[in-house]
Amino acid sequence: MRLALFDLDGTLLPIDSDHAFGDYLVQRGWADAEHFKRGNDAFYAQYLAGRLDVPAYIAFCTTAWRDRPAAELQALQADFIREAIGPQLLPPARDLVRRHQDDGDLVAIVTATNEVVTRPIADAFGVEHLIALKLARDHHGRVTGAIDGVPSYQAGKIVRVEQWLAALGRRWDDFDDTVFYSDSTNDLPLLERVDRPVATNPTPALEAIARERGWPVLRLFA
């Protein structure tokens, strides 16, 4: 059996879904157009620089919706997927995922973006297994603004993949081949852990590393 892992934002999507969700909250009037957008942009800049304060970001980005009724959030999620994500679900990315599925590989999306944003996106790609940032919830099931467990960010992606495999009764050595597709140097730990790292729509920094190390470079989007 082979294991195929995919980053999401910038890799399977030509946008960052987390940042786009923040912009969508502003667009729909759920968040302040000045204060929230400024904060959302600032945290995104941290992420691009590889120094995101993940707990602070989660506390910030969930403020706009975590106290809303579940039905309201679900309706907004559906609108977000249809209006903002649907046009970004491009055939080259869909086809890549499908080829691995058709080959019988164990496929998972591994993303630093939280599960509320990404579960519907994974469903849209037809991917059952999603390893995303888990949000802590209180005894009523409401999101608190904290993180549950290890964030799936940088080296935390390796920890979360290993936890997921263990829950399936598997481990790295069970696979004849492991591949990970990513666009970002934030994912270097997991890229270095698999048998076949693939720099996918890479940032200039990741492309330079890929060229130096002889990793394949894949461009899914024009």
Q: Say whether 7 is catalytic.
A: yes
Amino acid found at 212: E
Q: Helices (DSSP H) in the chain: which residue ranges? A: 17-27, 35-48, 54-61, 70-80, 91-102, 115-124, 156-167, 188-193, 204-213
Map residue 111 onto helix, strand or coil. strand
- Alpha-carbon distance of 219 to 222, in angstroms, equals 7
Given the residues 7, 18, 105, 187, select the one marked as catalytic. 7
**Distant-in-sequence, close-in-space partners of 140: CB < 8 Å, separation ≥ 6:** none
Cα–Cα dist 197/190, whole Å? 8
- Is residue 95 part of the annotated active site? The answer reads no
Handedness of CA 17, 18, 21, 23 (dihedral sign): negative
Instruction: Indicate which residues carry an active-site annotation.
Output: 7, 9
